[in-house]
Amino acid sequence: MKNIDPEWNNFRNISDGGDGFPSDMKYSIKFHDKNEVIFRQGDLCDALNILMTGSVKTEMITENGNLLGIEIINAPRPLAPAFLFSGNNRFPVDVTTLEDVEILRIPKDEVIRLMTSQPDFMQQFLIHNANRTQFLTNRLQLLSIKTIKGKIAHFLLEQAGEHGDTFTLNRNQTELADFFGVARPSLARSLSEMIEEGIINVNKKEYKVLDKKKLRELLV
Amino acid sequence: MKNIDPEWNNFRNISDGGDGFPSDMKYSIKFHDKNEVIFRQGDLCDALNILMTGSVKTEMITENGNLLGIEIINAPRPLAPAFLFSGNNRFPVDVTTLEDVEILRIPKDEVIRLMTSQPDFMQQFLIHNANRTQFLTNRLQLLSIKTIKGKIAHFLLEQAGEHGDTFTLNRNQTELADFFGVARPSLARSLSEMIEEGIINVNKKEYKVLDKKKLRELLV
DNA sequence: ATTAAAGTGTAACAGTTGTTACACCTTCAA
DNA sequence: TTGAAGGTGTAACAACTGTTACACTTTAAT
């Protein structure tokens, strides 16, 4: 559930030509302020947009009007690159800036030219899209768990696997509830019960996994 | 929610070389019987597998052991091509044959060679992956609707948009419940109530949308 | 330091869904 | 034709989650 895509860190290297890009590459750069909605769900997606500096959050609005938080994206990373080539090439989410950002925009035909002429660029693109698909699949798996405690268990076990039994989240309770697609008080209740049962410990945004075995049982 | 990917119908054309493939392409073909599990969730994915004839179903097993039906795939179509390039290149789902099938297997390095040497092949690959991503996003959207009636409404409106107000599904009630990630009797109850309210009509697998306005209200 | 805003804990209640069980109806094969 | 198996309708109850409301704590800004 981490948002690190190391393969895009060498984007500048891939297309290096002195100033970081091939001298003949067509592109434009846009700047946006903090807390600005820069793309909306349904917006046409006719260029590859790469977040060069700053961070954004993506949110999906379901048809019932609820917010289903998806993820926080830190630079450098492309935004929804897969949709550049989809039949209905429209943004699947709302994109909101969390700080001042810089966006590199490469038109679609230019992307195609780069991919055919620069195999490395193509492979990075493929790898990134593959990881995105995997991310969505994980998300699907999380949402398909029906109980709140089950979702918490799935999520915390995943985090513990990556960062050890004690870790700090960058989400508050409300954001975590959105992430799980549940109501905030319901999440708080489940967390309280799990603390009561001695399975976990929570202090602000710091989480401790105390009993992995019981956590796993919650997935059953 | 249809499983047609027209862009892959000309796969034979793309790589045509007399017998349908380039004479120097490395590949192998495997045959499997009906009702065979040919890939399991977690299997290594080190080649591009293309379903040439027959049909399969993919199922995701959540950690709580529940089945979350994903889709039915008809030939010709590649199976989980995106995961060929992902960091953790493992199958995200179980794949089970619904009839006798023929699978074309192209090793990963050969796929890379084809992509760099045949721009059309690359574009088809990109388009397909983009559509897969969109499919997953739709699936995510459906699952994020919390009420069963809401899911039904979302699904039926989508179907009605594609096929008109009367259409026949290729899923029975149990499979539809799995697709929605809900219990079968719960789905039956919601359907009954919606029939009672004159919103829809159901006869076996034939569905009629009677009141689109009320259906849309269920999404609110 | 003070105040407003944001975040958190908790309770009561309503509403929805899951579970289990069973009757009935199809379909298909022996 | 007659089982047997699979599919569907329904009911009673349990379990879980959402809603609303409010008190309390923490954070950030002036």
Q: So what's the pLDDT on residue A3?
A: 39
- Cα dist. A157→A129, A160, B92, B119 in Å? 25, 5, 19, 42
Q: So what's the pLDDT on residue B17?
A: 42
The answer on pLDDT for A20 being more than 50 is no
Token couple for A66: 């609820």
Query: How far apart (Å, rounded) are the C-alpha atoms in residues B109 and B92?
Result: 21
In chain B, which residues have their Cβ closer than 8 Å to the Cβ of A59?
Answer: none
Residue A125's contacts (CB-CB under 8 Å, 6 or more residues apart) are A81, A115
Residues forming a β-bridge with B207? B167, B202
The answer on pLDDT for B218 being more than 70 is yes
Instruction: Quote the crossing angle between the two packed helices B119-144 and A119-144, to the nearest 10°.
Output: 20
In degrees, to the nearest 5, what angle opens at C-alpha A23 toward C-alphas A19 and A25? 110
Query: How far apart (Å, rounded) are the C-alpha atoms in residues A137 and A141?
Result: 6
Query: How far does the CA of A185 sit from the C1' of D22, in Å?
Result: 13
Q: Which CATH number fits domain A6-144: 1.10.8.10, 1.10.132.20, 3.30.930.10, 2.60.120.10?
A: 2.60.120.10
Each residue's pLDDT tens digit, B110-168: 998 888 888 888 888 888 888 888 888 888 888 888 899 999 999 999 899 889 999 99
Q: So what's the pLDDT on residue B194?
A: 97
Confidence grade of residue A19 (pLDDT, cut at 50, 70, 90): very low
Q: Where on the phi/psi map is residue B20: left (φ > 0), alpha (ψ -120 to 50), or beta?
A: left
* Mean pLDDT score of chain A: 83
Nearest to A216 by CA among A157, A143, A170, A132: A157
The answer on pLDDT for A201 being more than 50 is yes
Q: What is the DSSP letter of B46?
A: -
Token couple for A99: 């700080």
- Burial, A218: exposed, middle or buried (Cβ in 10 Å; 0-12, 13-18, 19+)? buried
The answer on pLDDT for A155 being more than 80 is yes
Q: So what's the pLDDT on residue B124?
A: 87
The answer on pLDDT for A5 being more than 50 is no
- Cα dist. B105→A46, B50, B116 in Å? 33, 6, 18
Q: So what's the pLDDT on residue A80?
A: 85
Q: So what's the pLDDT on residue B189?
A: 97
**3-state helix/strand/coil string of chain A:** CCCCCHHHCCHHHHCCCCCCCCCCCCCEEEEECCCCEEECCCCECCEEEEEEECEEEEEEECCCCCEEEEEEEECCEEECHHHHHCCCCECCCEEEECCCEEEEEEEHHHHHHHHHHCHHHHHHHHHHHHHHHHHHHHHHHHHHCCCHHHHHHHHHHHHHHHHCCEEECCCCHHHHHHHHCCCHHHHHHHHHHHHHCCCEEEECCEEEECCHHHHHHHCC
Q: So what's the pLDDT on residue B59?
A: 78
Each residue's pLDDT tens digit, A111-153: 988 888 888 888 888 888 888 888 888 888 888 888 999 999 9
Query: How far apart (Å, rounded) are the C-alpha atoms in residues B7 and A81?
Result: 19
User: How many residues does this entry show for chain B?
Assistant: 220
The answer on pLDDT for A74 being more than 50 is yes
Q: So what's the pLDDT on residue B117?
A: 86
Query: How far apart (Å, rounded) are the C-alpha atoms in residues B73 and B51?
Result: 9
Counting one residue from chain A and one from chain B, the pairs whose CB atoms sit within 8 A come to 135
The answer on pLDDT for B6 being more than 50 is no
Record: fold of A148-218: Arc Repressor Mutant, subunit A (1.10.10)
Each residue's pLDDT tens digit, B156-207: 998 998 899 999 999 999 999 999 999 999 999 999 999 999 999 999 899 9
Nearest to A22 by CA among A10, A14, A33, A32: A14
CA-atom Rg of chain B in angstroms: 20
In chain A, which residues have their Cβ closer than 8 Å to the Cβ of B181?
Answer: 144, 146
Sign of CA dihedral A160, A161, A164, A165: positive
Average pLDDT of A74-100?
85
Contact, B201 CB vs strand D, < 7 Å: no
What percent of chain A has a predicted confidence (pLDDT) above 70?
Answer: 84
CB-CB: which of A82, A137, A146 is closest to B130?
A: A82
Query: How many other CB atoms are there within 10 angstroms of residue A16's CB atom?
Result: 12
Confidence grade of residue B2 (pLDDT, cut at 50, 70, 90): very low
Q: Where are the domains of chain B?
A: 6-144, 148-217
Query: How far apart (Å, rounded) are the C-alpha atoms in residues A150 and A23?
Result: 52
Query: How far apart (Å, rounded) are the C-alpha atoms in residues A20 and A23?
Result: 9
Q: So what's the pLDDT on residue A21?
A: 54
Task: Please tell me which residue lies nearest to nucleotide D15, judged from CA to C1'.
Answer: A147
How many Å from the N-terminal Cα to the C-terminal Cα in chain A? 21
Q: Is B66–A144 a contact, with Cβ atoms under 8 angstroms apart?
A: yes
Q: Is B145–A219 a contact, with Cβ atoms under 8 angstroms apart?
A: no
Q: Is B136–A133 a contact, with Cβ atoms under 8 angstroms apart?
A: yes
Q: So what's the pLDDT on residue A14?
A: 42
User: Could you give the maximum distance between any two Cα atoms of chain A, in Å?
Assistant: 62
Q: Which CATH number fits domain B148-217: 2.60.40.790, 3.40.50.10860, 1.10.10.10, 1.10.1060.10?
A: 1.10.10.10
Each residue's pLDDT tens digit, B30-73: 999 888 889 988 899 999 999 999 888 887 765 545 556 567 78
Instruction: Quote the crossing angle between the two packed helices B119-144 and B148-163, to the nearest 10°.
Output: 140
